[in-house]
Chains A and B, each alone.
Chain A
Amino acid sequence: MSKPSFRVVILGLLFGLLMASTGCGAAADESDSFPFGDEDSIPTTPETLIAAPSLVLDPEAQQSVEVHSGWICELQRRTFNDPADIDQALALHLERIPFDRDRYDRFILELASDQGLRDAVLFNYQETCRRN
């Protein structure tokens, strides 16, 4: 993209000030319908993210998978007053199951280097969160 000329920049600034002061820039304020023409450029998240993994996990690892995907599902559906509330909510989530916090933290560290675990978490998330 070429750099705009000085005149264009000034005109643009004035136009922007006018739009901002009148609120006209907020064309989408009260409309319930999709206000942008860029819908076609937005990627669509596929219905199926991953096929069922062929690797069968041991019961302990499978439980960790289910706990973590359940937490992600809960987390994204909530808002929090303070970032510290997120960790408290996680602690409560684990306590309700119950699931040991240290064990959960170790599982999170393992995910970075274990494709099989990541595949299992994504599949479980797909089956229990996205399809509900």
Chain B
Amino acid sequence: MRLAKKFSAATIALVAMAGIATPASADDSGTAPVLLSDTSIDWVAGGQGWMNLSWTAFEDLSDVKVTVVPQSNGIEISYPENHDGFTGLSVDSDLSSNEIDYTSFYVETTAANSGTKWAKVYVEWTQAGDGHQALMANLKFSNMKYKGDDFLILTDSVSVSSGETDTTVNWVEFGYKGLAPTNSDFSITVEGVAAEVYYPQDSFTSLHHDHVLNAGETDVARIWIDPALVAEGSSEIEVVVNYSNNSGRAQQVSHKVALTVD
């Protein structure tokens, strides 16, 4: 699934005020799908991801569509790309009597806006040829500030060759794995190398994929050490990592790496 257009509280406010049709809040829930999932959700500020709501029905329903409408700033909702402005059931668009199925949608929250966030869940369905729609739930996202290490350092030793003429060799990689929802703006330098270090960004290096390290994501930072200028032996170098943490604050950590030149 790829993401379709995002919906934020500001967008919904504009649309609603213009009198353009939005999911109705009328109580039309006589034969509605039944929401099984909890509506109170613990959520780390700045977190993002696909979440799922489970549904059942007491009668055969068809053309089931679910929309999740943000009611707070700092939260955005997206749907699978194969649906335009809504999400659908995983198996098909029908919900048979006592069947359990789920709908997926993507939630993004900003770290700067901690605190409780709200979103309304609406559902549309068809039963015996008649269309219905209803407000089914108020989702409560209890945004918590992230506490814990920002990322894991995966590299504690590297090796390069002295006298190597192949310039594709001697690229050194330092690996990192994200733990906090989002860390960004990585700027990494190295100290203690007894030779000139080549940085891809001239005076620093960053993550290879992009400048953001999300939770669970693994990426590397690369530097190049000129083999003609480095002598055989072992030493310890210091990698200095500057970045912005999940709350947007500038941070610096450094870690030691054993460098072997053979």
Interface residues of A (CB under 8 A from B): 3-4, 8-9, 12-13, 15-17, 19-20, 23, 25-26, 28-32, 34-36, 38-39, 41-43, 45-46, 49-50, 69, 72, 75-76, 78-83, 85-86, 108, 111-112, 115, 118-119, 121-122, 125, 130
Contact = CB atoms under 8 A, between A and B. Distances in A.
A115 B98 contact: yes
A83 B136 contact: no
Which of B27, B99, B134 has the most chain A CB within a 10 Å cutoff? B99
Interface stretch (B51-59, B147-155, B201-209, B225-233): B51-59
Given A15-B17, A26-B72, A81-B216, A38 B54 contact: no
Interface residues of B, number: 58
9 contacts: A3-B19, A9-B19, A13-B17, A28-B72, A28-B118, A42-B138, A75-B102, A79-B107, A118-B96
B100 A12 contact: no
Nearest to A50: B98
Contact of B56 (A20, A32, A49, A75): A49
A16 B13 contact: yes
B200 interface: no
B136 A16 contact: no
Nearest to B54: A76
A90 B225 CA distance: 44
A119 B102 contact: no
A16 B17 contact: yes
A98 B94 CA distance: 30
Interface in B12-42: 13-14, 16-19, 25, 27, 29, 32, 34-38
Given A25-B10, A45-B35, 14 more contacts: A8-B19, A12-B19, A15-B17, A16-B17, A20-B9, A20-B13, A29-B115, A29-B117, A41-B25, A42-B137, A43-B35, A83-B1, A112-B91, A118-B100
Nearest to A46: B34
Given A16-B13, A83-B1, A122 B100 contact: yes
Nearest to B1: A83
Interface in B86-133: 91-92, 94, 96-100, 102, 104, 107, 113, 115-118, 120
Nearest to A19: B13
Which of B37, B91, B100, B102 has the most chain A CB within a 10 Å cutoff? B100
